[in-house]
Structure 1
Amino acid sequence: MKKLLALFLIPAMVLVGCSNDEVTPSAPPVVEAPKTAAEQLTSADWETKKVSESIVWKYKHFKELFSSNQSITILDIDLNDAGLEVEVPHVLSGFIKTSEAAASVGATVAINGSFFDTSKGGSTVFFKKDGEIINTTRSGFTPYRENAGFAIGTDGSISVVKKPAAGWSSLTEAHTLLASGPLLVLDDKTVKQEQQVFNTNRHPRTAVGITADNHLIAVVVDGRFTEAHGMTTEELATVMHALGCVEAMNLDGGGSSTAWIRNRGVVNYPCDNKKFDHGGERGVATAIAFVQK
């Protein structure tokens, strides 16, 4: 009897062993690599509104961009539109808000311009308008903060240029030129930033850049809030390059950083009133305004 029982058990054990051998082990879970900052920017679901035929307004709040909270406003402006004009309204002394400067030239959208005297007003960097030099860079001004220029050629073309060795006055082909800096992107490559606190600390920032297909990308980054930490200039350069700019420059930032749209007002969150709202606009010396005819 025992022998007969063994004869029945042996095949059953063989079958169990075969069944176990045929079980496919479960695959390990796929862990996706975290997105780079550039990938986050290009894949983001931006809030997008068309302002005019050639101007698009975008906004996005990021919770983990550069491991921080970031509030970014973009104005995407198609410079191929013959009906678009670019102005640089300014004051020689005292202050003017970006919104006021924009309204004075009938602008559709505008951003703040370059550095100014916070006591007396007026530009502290090289500024030429319509062929006339309004002022030169103040003596002792930090060189890397005026090594780039927003230039309007005699033919109306817009570009971001690097400061030539011979100085800004040597750029005779620029009919209008507003110096600022640092330079962020040149020849489709991000520019290495000097390790100075102006660059390495996070602040509200304003920047402009030009894409290969001749769009101007104006970016305003909010900062000095829990909701918006601001950026270093290296981070800002990464943003501008990710948005397609082949050349880009930093403008005045901090409490000056402002994006304005006609019939909407200030659309970013300026920090001059220390509130995360649209009411903290600061008086400046220059603005860059875009007029849709």
Structure 2
Amino acid sequence: MIRSMRFLPLSLCCLLTVSGACQTIPGTSADSLRLLNRPAAIQFRRGLEWQSVRLDTLFGSPQNINILRLRPGKWRLAFGSAGDSLRTTSRLGREKQATAALNGTFFSFKGGSVDHIKIDGYVLDTTRYTPGKKLEEHRQAAIVLTKRGKAAIVFGGADNPRWASERPEPNVMVTGPLLLKGNKRAPLQPNAFNDNRHPRTCFCLTNDRHVLLITADGRHKNAAGFSLPELTTVLRWLGCRDAINLDGGGSTTLWLSGQPDNGVVNYPSDSKQWIHTGERPVSNVLLVHPR
């Protein structure tokens, strides 16, 4: 069923800096209007809405974005893991009998996460770090879930390598960088990972108490992908209060049960073709289940 609704942005012509001050960004108003005029959401399931957005230009380049919006009262989140092996997001979604699955945090091609992940109280992997050095940006924050799948984004910082293992929640997935916290943009270090355009996967909690699972395709003439500052701007337009980056690049995958092309609704980049079947095996995923 097609619903005549759109996800409302916080602002059309300005965004918050780290200090919270509003400033006009050249081109931001036109780009936000392009995003506002995207197709209406499909009610994929009751309380679960899906948008597939193709834009000829956003920040001066073509983009392809998928947005899954869920109402926590109807749906719960969980983490799924391939253990010491790697499996595609679609396979993990089917094996865990989920309604939807999103690729998770960073991992080794030999298998296993390189960042702390705990599922139902059991620690599968711990953060790999160099003693005496601060934690990297993607190891400073996490998605945490209660037993009932209620989600929060937490920030542990760069100085305590054990902060994630000290979290009391039964489900913890370290990832990052952190993008938004309390409607404020998190500071991002200037580096190629943050500043170059890539396929991106992210997770956000909105001001109206919904959850968004988002993919942005890239590395193709049909979709450039985003830098993390660009992605953060888009998330603010979508009404996100707290948001965090997940593993992207060739890992970026959104799977929806029952959809064509094995359920993969975005265009994973590893195949270097504009097809749905180029999934990269991953270590872990975020899962959506009915309550």
Amino acid at match of 2:93: A
Count residues in correspondence: 257
Q: Secondary structure at the match of 1:282?
A: coil
Aligned to 1:93: 84
2:97 alignment partner, SS class: coil
What amino acid is the match of 1:54? G
User: Match for residue 137 of structure 1?
Assistant: 127
- 1:246 paired with 2:244, answer no
SS at match of 1:168: coil
Deviation at 1:206, TM superposition (A): 0.1
CA contact (8 A) 2:65 2:217 kept: yes
CA contact (8 A) 1:151 1:161 kept: yes
Give per-residue Cα distances to partners, 1:61-86, cap 9 Å, x unaligned. Answer: 112211111110000011122xx232
Structure 2 stretches lacking a partner, 5+ long? 1-25
Which one has the largest radius of gyration? 1
**For the Cα contact (< 8 Å) 1:109–1:289, is it kept in 2?**
yes
CA distance, structure 2, for counterparts of residue 63 and residue 38 of structure 1: 11
> In structure 2, which of residues 223, 228, 245 is the aligned counterpart of residue 228 of structure 1?
223
Q: Counterparts of 1:112-123 in structure 2 under 5 Å?
A: 112-118=103-109, 120-123=110-113
Change (3 A) 1:268 1:47: farther
> Once the 2 structures are TM-superposed, how far is the Cα of residue 106 of structure 1 from its aligned partner?
1.0
* CA deviation vs aligned residue, 1:221-240 (integer Å, no higher than 9, x gap): 00000010011111111111
Q: Which of 254, 258, 264 is the aligned partner of 2:253? A: 258
For 1:53 and 1:103, how far apart are their aligned partners in 2?
20
Give CA deviations for 1:113-136 in whole Å, capped at 9, x if unaligned: 010002x11111010111222221
* Percent of aligned pairs with the same amino acid: 32
Q: Corresponding residue for 1:108?
A: 99
Normalized per residue, the structure richer in helix is: 1
Deviation at 1:42, TM superposition (A): 5.0
Alpha-carbon separation, structure 2, partners of 1:146 and 1:263:
34
Q: Deviations over 1:119-162 (max 9, x none)?
A: x1111101011122222111249610122211102453211111
Conserved in 1, the CA contact under 8 Å of 2:112 and 2:125? no
Give the counterpart of 2:73 among 73, 80, 90.
80
Q: Is the 8 A contact 2:34 2:55 kept in 1?
A: no
- AA of the residue aligned to 2:77: V
- Indicate the SS of the match to 1:73: strand
Q: Which runs of 5+ in 1 are unaligned?
A: 1-32
For the pair 1:168 / 2:164, whether they are aligned, the reply is yes
What TM-score does the superposition give when structure 1 sets the normalisation length? 0.83
Structure 2: distance between partners of 1:52 and 1:186 = 29
RMSD across aligned positions (CA) = 1.8
1:1-293 counterparts in 2 under 5 A? Answer: 36=29, 39-40=32-33, 43-81=36-74, 84-118=75-109, 120-140=110-130, 143-164=136-157, 166=160, 167-172=163-168, 174-264=169-259, 265-293=263-291
- Structure 1 runs (4+) deviating above 3 angstroms are none
Contact 1:209 1:245 in 2 (8 A): yes
**For the structure 1 residues 58 and 121, does the alpha-carbon distance in structure 2 shift closer, same or farther, using more than 3 Å as the test?**
same
Contact 1:189-1:241 at 8 Å conserved across structures: no
Tell me if the contact between 1:272 and 1:281 (Cα under 8 Å) persists in the aligned partners.
Answer: yes
Aligned to 1:29: none
User: What are the Cα deviations for residues 67-113 of structure 1, in whole angstroms up to 9, with x where unaligned?
Assistant: 111110000011122xx232211022221100011111111111100
